[in-house]
Amino acid sequence: MKTHSCKPSHRFATVALLLVACQAGWAQSGTIEGTISDGVTPLSGVTVIVGDPTQAWKSVLASATTDGSGAYSITFDVGSGGSRDVVVEAAGPAHAPARYDWSDPLPCFFNCGTGGEVTVGAGATVTGIDFSLSAGGRISGTITASDTAAGLPSATVELVDAAELRTFSPQFNATAAPDGSYETTLALPPGDYHVLAAPARDPANYPLFLDNYIAEAWNDRRCEFKTCPIGNTDAVAITGGTVTPGIDFALDPGASLSGNLQPDSIQKLVYLYNAAGQNLDFNFISTADLPATAWAFNGLAGGSYYLQLGPPSGQSDFLRKLHNGLLCPFSGCERARGSAITIPAGASLTLPPDTLAEGGRLAGNIVDAGTGLAPTGIPAGAALGNYDIVDASGTVVGGGQIVESGGDVLLQTSAAVPAGSYYVRTYSEFFGDGIGFVSLGGTSAITGYADAVFPDLPCAGIDCDLAAATPVTVTSGATTSITIGISPGSSISGRVIDAASSDPIEGAIVRLVDAAGDILANTLTDASGEYLMGGFPAGSYYVRTSMSGHLGPGTGAVQLGYFDKVYGATGNCSERLCSPASGTPVVLDGSSDVSLADMAVDSGPVISGRILDASTGFVIPRGQVEVYTSGGDLVGRYKLGFFDATYRTTALPPGVYTVVPVVSPAYGTVSIASTGPAPAARGGVPEGRLVEMGTEDVVADLQVVDLALDAIFADRFAETVP
């Protein structure tokens, strides 16, 4: 790491003059200088940037262009700390990007991640920041309107590395000329790239596009708001030293959606989601915009959509909800619920005016039930998970974070919920996270304490006796403050290992269940295969693995190719087919911790696959599948993986299974119906794909269709067929 400090440039400079110069002229700035070459020849016209890796990725502090000798000089703000660690990167019209003093792959360019930093002091000039670039390539083409063939001026093009899905800063994008032609200005490394084109945003009316057209991925794949699974699209080959021509786009006319949201006295956020519940965009009505109430989106492909309407989270007593009236008072609510908005391709829809209702909020603190004081030994500022606000039916309707602050444990103020009576517990269903052990919802824990429901009744994880608890009254326009008392409980620890090798298994889910198999709490194993969960009140429990599953609705999928095991059982099982009675109960006294013997799990065959949108061919990134036996018993629900959008079941014994895609009410299954019985709770036989399992893995992709588009197709088909 190169450094430089403020030093006199002349040997006769006085200390006083130097001090004045450093403070007045250079106090907040520093300079980096160097030369860019191809390893032999200096390169002119190369863009050089300085970035701060602690700031937002792809943000640039300052930039310059090399002169005829390949030299550059960049002066930038070093901040108030007296020095700044920065990265220096460069790219040219014919040369791919690189970072000074760094050769390892970076997740993106420019300014993405740490490595190769140069330290620059206030008033300092750091010289000799020289590095070389290798040959790269660019693309060119046109962006036009499919209905008029006219160019779309100011439309943008951006590229994504197909091999590693690396992205690039705006300097690597292209902007279309008035006739729609474009050419990227900075080269990228040779390789294959996905390319996206989109109309320009209206700077005066964000998030609207200047031209109402649908963003597109090359080659002729609609990609509204640039949110499609880019890995499903065709790639363009870029060759070093060349410009690849003919990467042309003809964007289709978009649909639009608009409305008005009262009251006019508060900030408002309108979020737009597609049929799968994936966020597409948002419209923010800020304080500066008030008393505005109008919102709008364009550039829509058409089909089914969901809206979330409300104030910014936690900033108002007004209730957040979906367009269909279903409440959404906390960040973990599922947006793709209930009836969707349907918009035909190219159409314009204005919703009736809507008004947010007022509710109330909750806040408070947590104390040791025995002492009345805050629990001790918690790191300052620690995130301790989340609390749930629960209605009389046990349904979570809201919640907030639990944090340490100044020696206290606080229930941070919740988003607004409707006026009424609620129960408040320290366990978070959304994250599957208890207060006594670290999971995904926090960075620390109140170790050894059992969860509780207000005022101080201990809970076995999510299982609280609401009939014995005291409800909390929430009043519109007010924040109700409460104190929850928690007590120590018994913790459970153990290890999960591979039965064949005895190697520890990292990232396996371990669940605490009751005699009926209902899940009470869960946690993940660490790199040593070890787990810890608790505390829990006195009682008899069972412990089992979930080798493919998730901790809660707000967590990612765990996908390990093993059978499950109930602690103490001799045989294998699969998720919900695991019978607690096959294992050994774990009896807790509420004060002593219990260490269990290893649970050794066997590998086995799994079903895996993707859910595809039949109308677009794209992989759907959000959702899950339900798997049923030939007898109609539910084996489990398996979420799609975050990165590859693939489901993967627990290992399964030989047999015939029905795999049912579950995305949202806006989608219907494109498949044949299972011939076996199904649980009555589903209302009949589930439609899905029949899969016959033997001793090998099976890949089974599934298809769904947006019911809004399906209805349009059916109507058109009916018009042409007698």
- 3-state SS track over 304-366: EEEEEEECCCCCCCECCEECCCCECCCCCCCCCCCCCEEECCCCEEECCCEECCECEEEEEEE
* Residue 496 and residue 473 share a domain: no
d(CA 673, CA 527): 42
* Residue 459 and residue 408 share a domain: yes
Locate the DSSP E strands across 42-95.
47-51, 62-65, 71-77, 83-91
pLDDT tier at 13 (50, 70, 90 boundaries)?
Answer: very low
* Residue 508 and residue 481 share a domain: no
Q: Is residue 565 situated within a structural domain? A: yes
Mean pLDDT, rounded, for 289-299:
96
Domain stop point among 486, 517, 537: 486
* Residue 434 and residue 388 share a domain: yes
Q: What percent of the chain has pLDDT over 70?
A: 91
Report the candidate in 524, 509, 571, 520 with the shortest Cα–Cα distance to residue 542.
520
Looking at residue 439, what is its pLDDT?
61
Q: Is residue 658 situated within a structural domain? A: yes
Looking at residue 24, what is its pLDDT?
38
User: What is the number of structural domains in the chain?
Assistant: 6
pLDDT tier at 438 (50, 70, 90 boundaries)?
Answer: confident
Q: Is residue 713 situated within a structural domain? A: no
CA Rg value for the chain? 29
Burial of 376 per CB tally in 10 Å (0-12, 13-18, 19+): exposed
* Residue 473 and residue 365 share a domain: yes
Per the CB < 8 A criterion, the answer to whether 549 and 560 are in contact is no
Domain stop point among 328, 355, 382: 355
Q: Is the pLDDT of residue 518 over 80?
A: yes
Q: Is residue 426 situated within a structural domain? A: yes
pLDDT tier at 710 (50, 70, 90 boundaries)?
Answer: low
d(CA 157, CA 307): 28
Q: Is the pLDDT of residue 678 over 50?
A: no
Q: Is the pLDDT of residue 12 over 50?
A: no
Mean pLDDT, rounded, for 538-567:
96
Q: What percent of the chain has pLDDT over 90?
A: 84
What is the chain's mean pLDDT, rounded? 91
Looking at residue 671, what is its pLDDT?
58
Q: Out of 237-241, 327-331, 445-449, 455-459, pick the least confident.
A: 327-331
Q: Is the pLDDT of residue 6 over 90?
A: no
Total H helices, total E strands in the chain: 2, 58
Whole-number Cα distances in Å, 31 to 79, 119, 171, 474: 13, 11, 21, 57
Domain stop point among 229, 251, 273: 251
pLDDT tier at 237 (50, 70, 90 boundaries)?
Answer: very high
Looking at residue 570, what is its pLDDT?
95
The residue segments making up the domain with residue 179 are 138-251
* Residue 396 and residue 382 share a domain: yes
Domain holding 196: CATH number? 2.60.40.1120
Report the candidate in 662, 646, 663 with the shortest Cα–Cα distance to residue 606.
646
- Phi and psi (nearest 5°) for 582? -75, -15
Q: Is the pLDDT of residue 488 over 80?
A: yes
Report the candidate in 366, 269, 260, 385 with the shortest Cα–Cα distance to residue 316.
269
* Residue 595 and residue 547 share a domain: yes
Q: Is the pLDDT of residue 679 over 50?
A: no
Contacts with 595 (C-beta within 8 Å, 6 or more apart), sequence order: 492, 493, 494
**Measured in whole angstroms, how far is the alpha carbon of residue 76 from the centre of its chain?**
33
Domain holding 411: CATH number? 2.60.40
Report the candidate in 319, 432, 333, 317 with the shortest Cα–Cα distance to residue 386.
432
Report the candidate in 431, 533, 411, 388 with the shortest Cα–Cα distance to residue 484.
411
Looking at residue 713, what is its pLDDT?
45
Amino acid, res. 358: E
d(CA 213, CA 224): 9
Q: Is the pLDDT of residue 686 over 90?
A: no
- In 327-361, which positions are buried (b, 16+ CB within 10 angstroms) versus exposed (e)? bbbbbbbbbbbeebbbbebbeebeeeebebeebbb
**Measured in whole angstroms, how far is the alpha carbon of residue 722 from the centre of its chain?**
48
* Residue 474 and residue 506 share a domain: no
Q: Is residue 177 situated within a structural domain? A: yes
* Residue 238 and residue 143 share a domain: yes
Q: Is residue 717 situated within a structural domain? A: no
Q: Is residue 666 situated within a structural domain? A: yes
> Tokens 């349907």 label which residue?
342
* Residue 293 and residue 371 share a domain: no
* Residue 195 and residue 237 share a domain: yes
Domain holding 118: CATH number? 2.60.40.10
Q: Is the pLDDT of residue 220 over 90?
A: yes
Amino acid, res. 115: G
Q: pLDDT of 60-86, one tens digit each?
A: 999 999 999 999 999 999 988 889 999
Whole-number Cα distances in Å, 498 to 529, 562, 596, 696: 9, 9, 16, 19
Mean pLDDT, rounded, for 330-339:
88
* Residue 626 and residue 575 share a domain: no
DSSP-derived letter for residue 461 is T
Q: Is residue 9 situated within a structural domain? A: no
396-405/236-238 β-pairing? unpaired
Contacts 24+ apart (CB under 8 A), 506-509: 507/558, 507/560, 508/545, 508/546, 508/547, 508/558, 508/560, 508/562, 508/601, 509/545, 509/546, 509/547, 509/549, 509/550, 509/551, 509/558
pLDDT tier at 676 (50, 70, 90 boundaries)?
Answer: very low
* Structure tokens that stand for 386 in this block: 């989340």
